[in-house]
Amino acid sequence: MSVSASAENLSSDAQSCDGGSMCLELALEGERLCKAGDCRAGVAFFQAAIQAGTDDLRTLSAIYSQLGNAYFYLGDYNKAMQYHKHDLTLARTMNDKLGEAKASGNLGNTLKVMGKFNEAVQCCKRHLEISRSLGDRLSEGRALYNLGNVYHAQGKQLGRVGQNDPGHFPQEVRECLMQAVAYYEENLELMRSLGDRQAMGRACGNLGNTCYLLGDFTRAIKYHTERLRIAQEVGDRAAERRANSNLGNSHIFLGQFENAAEHYKRTLALAEELGDAAVEAQACYSLGNTYTLLREYRIAEEYHARHLSAARKLQDRVGEGRACWSLGNAHAALGNHEKALYYAKEHYNISKELGDVLGMATAQMNIGDLCKVLGLPVDAAPSPPQDPIPAPRTPFNALRVRRQSMEQLSLIQITPDGKKKEEDKERGIVRAESEEGENPTETFMELLVRCQSNRMDEQRATLDKENRPKKLQRSASSGNKNNPPEGTAEMLTLISTLQSDRLNEQRAELRPVNPRATLPGVGVIPTTRPKPEEDFIEVLARVQGTRLEDQRTALPKPQAEQEEEEKDDFFARLMKAQAGRMEDQRASIPLKEKPQPSNSKN
């Protein structure tokens, strides 16, 4: 899995106090322990680094990524997913596109092993999209490889349902496998152009395995041969052993038994060199089956005996049952009917112990045939099971030998998987969880939605329900009883669209979410910079103040003062009007003339 930033590449210059330096030192020690293979101790140091805290987000991102990888290798996939999500959130907060791409890839790998293939595909495609936009070809190659792995794993899981041979899977399985082939081939071409031999080898190995499952054995041999050549060039003995094993499997299905035997012998030698007892036992089993197909029963008996001995050392009861069944068939072909009867009875007892009803029936039939050949009473053979339905469910029921004839044999595991035991334990869980198709939610997005909803709630106006006209109340309460006419519905839709556009135009951009509120280990140590809470409050007050000023209206004046002013204005207007009218009604008073003296006659 990729790491967004290695802790050893981070300088302590960005640390502002002793607490930050302590965090970096703990992270470096955790990384050293993980590289040494002690992931459990490394996790403890990484957790201590988070407790120490740091303001350097790049250091914290590296810790999250390393913690996710460590939990992944420890098999704790839920915690691995948790820390890879933290890393993804932090990368988005810092606008670190390359970090976001790598975190998406890590998250996709984790979801894949959890069986959540749809979500894994989304994360890996996001990884691919960002890598291509950045022009990072190495990251693009990893994304293509991860996508191939997701579809390959999904196809193999779906193919486990039922008893299907390579090349005879349902169409749903074939589509997944063909998608895997497409991504693997694109990855291979990219790695060829970059000259990365090890990455080319991985792509060839996976292409060979996928083509094998599709039934294209010739093409599978081509890719596995190239994988073998690259492994020999780089000195990868484990990869060389896997390539020989897969080549043997492919040659078997083409009927090329001599070539298959040579590759299985090389597999056995490499397994002994590497000290892998389980693979050594599988190689002996495959060699025994191959020599049985070649009708060299003596050599087949020798390899099956080695397989039985190895299975007993490993306490592998399933392997013991297979070995006893194969030894019984080999001895019967050699004419050693007494030994064949002994191994047939052993096969029956082991099958009964494992609850393998089909194995019990096969062993009982073989015992009956051998008793007839030896002239023994048929009563010596155990009776077949009366009620096979209530037999306990065991892994052997799904993985046991599929074919009963010696011309068609079950072979070594086709695609070796280092985590087979963990997958067997989780198979029931994986099937239940793989149905979920929900997109992974991000803490940052949840915080953003919560902030926006709070702002909307603060701006809501309370409706005056008590003072509404009764007619309107009745119409509103009865509005849900009947659907609005079509024209009204269109009008309401238009209004809703216009209102949403207005709301969007009035939204204010939020500053990047402070990761201190959501992520552990951020901002624990004090710094000389202003407190982020003060910065936030200052910006909030300034923004809110501007918005409040825009929304202010003049307050109404007190009622008494308003009445007094209105009264004064009334009398002033009245006096003015009356004065005008009185002026209009005035009459000029005529002056009295002095009487003229009259001349009287005497």
pLDDT band at 171 (very low <50, low <70, confident <90, very high): very high
* Inter-residue contact 53 to 23 (CB < 8 Å): yes
Percentage with pLDDT > 90 across the chain:
55
Average pLDDT on 329-346 reads: 94
Q: Which residues pair with 522 in a beta bridge?
A: 54
Rounded to whole angstroms, the Cα distance separating 160 from 172 reads 12
Higher pLDDT, 499 or 353: 353
**SS3 call for 54:** strand
In the predicted structure, residue 58 carries a pLDDT above the cut 80: yes
Rounded to whole angstroms, the Cα distance separating 512 from 5 reads 22
Q: Phi/psi at 181 (nearest 5 deg)?
A: -60, -40
The full DSSP string for 491-560 is: HHHHHHHHHHHHHHHHPPPPPPPPGGGTSTTBS-S--SSPPHHHHHHHHHHHHHHHHHHHH--PPPPPHH
pLDDT at site 160 = 83
The full DSSP string for 382-420 is: PPPPS--TTPPP-HHHHHS----STTS---S-SS--TTH
**SS3 call for 232:** helix
Rounded to whole angstroms, the Cα distance separating 185 from 137 reads 15
Which helix (H) or strand (E) segment is 264 a member of? Answer: helix 257-274
Q: If 0-12 CB within 10 Å is exposed, 13-18 middle and 19+ buried, where does residue 176 land?
A: buried
Highest mean pLDDT: which range of 160-164, 319-323, 374-378, 412-416: 319-323
Per-domain boundaries in the chain: 254-417
pLDDT at site 430 = 33
pLDDT band at 406 (very low <50, low <70, confident <90, very high): very low
Rounded to whole angstroms, the Cα distance separating 204 from 223 reads 5
Q: Which residues lie below 8 Å from residue 513, measured CB to CB, with a gap of 6+?
A: 93, 444, 447, 448
pLDDT band at 478 (very low <50, low <70, confident <90, very high): very low
Question: In the structure encoding, which two tokens stand for residue 26, read together?
Answer: 């703990």
pLDDT at site 161 = 73
* Inter-residue contact 283 to 274 (CB < 8 Å): no
Higher pLDDT, 408 or 350: 350
Question: In the structure encoding, which two tokens stand for residue 301, read together?
Answer: 């008996």
Q: What angle do CA 258, 264, 267 make, to 5 degrees?
A: 150
Rounded to whole angstroms, the Cα distance separating 317 from 349 reads 11
Phi-psi region of 275 (alpha: psi -120 to 50; beta: other; left: phi over 0): left
* Inter-residue contact 348 to 365 (CB < 8 Å): no
pLDDT at site 393 = 38
Q: What is the mean pLDDT of the chain?
A: 77
**SS3 call for 468:** coil
pLDDT at site 391 = 39
In the predicted structure, residue 505 carries a pLDDT above the cut 80: no
- Other Cβ atoms less than 10 A from the Cβ of 41: the count is 16
**Single-letter amino acid, residue 487:** G
Q: Using only C-alpha atoms, what is the Rg of the chain?
A: 42
In the predicted structure, residue 527 carries a pLDDT above the cut 60: no
pLDDT band at 549 (very low <50, low <70, confident <90, very high): low
In the predicted structure, residue 424 carries a pLDDT above the cut 50: no
In the predicted structure, residue 251 carries a pLDDT above the cut 60: yes
Read off the pLDDT of residues 213-242 as tens digits, 9 standing for 90 and up: 999 999 999 999 999 999 999 999 999 999
* Inter-residue contact 344 to 353 (CB < 8 Å): no
The full DSSP string for 79-125 is: HHHHHHHHHHHHHHHTT-HHHHHHHHHHHHHHHHHTT-HHHHHHHHH
Rounded to whole angstroms, the Cα distance separating 575 from 583 reads 12
Read off the pLDDT of residues 354-370 as tens digits, 9 standing for 90 and up: 999 999 999 999 999 99
pLDDT at site 168 = 87
Which residue has tokens 């670190």?
Answer: 96
Higher pLDDT, 176 or 1: 176
In the predicted structure, residue 431 carries a pLDDT above the cut 60: no
* Inter-residue contact 229 to 237 (CB < 8 Å): no
Q: Phi/psi at 54 (nearest 5 deg)?
A: -160, 155
pLDDT at site 53 = 87
| pTM of the predicted protein model | 0.63
CATH no., domain 254-417? 1.25.40.10
Q: Which residues lie below 8 Å from residue 467, measured CB to CB, with a gap of 6+?
A: none
In the predicted structure, residue 70 carries a pLDDT above the cut 50: yes
Q: Phi/psi at 167 (nearest 5 deg)?
A: 90, -5
Nearest Cα to Cα of residue 84 among 58, 57, 66, 59: 66
pLDDT at site 548 = 63
From 165-169, 391-395, 526-530, the region with the lowest mean pLDDT? 391-395
Rounded to whole angstroms, the Cα distance separating 330 from 494 reads 82
Nearest Cα to Cα of residue 103 among 132, 136, 76, 130: 130
In the predicted structure, residue 432 carries a pLDDT above the cut 60: no
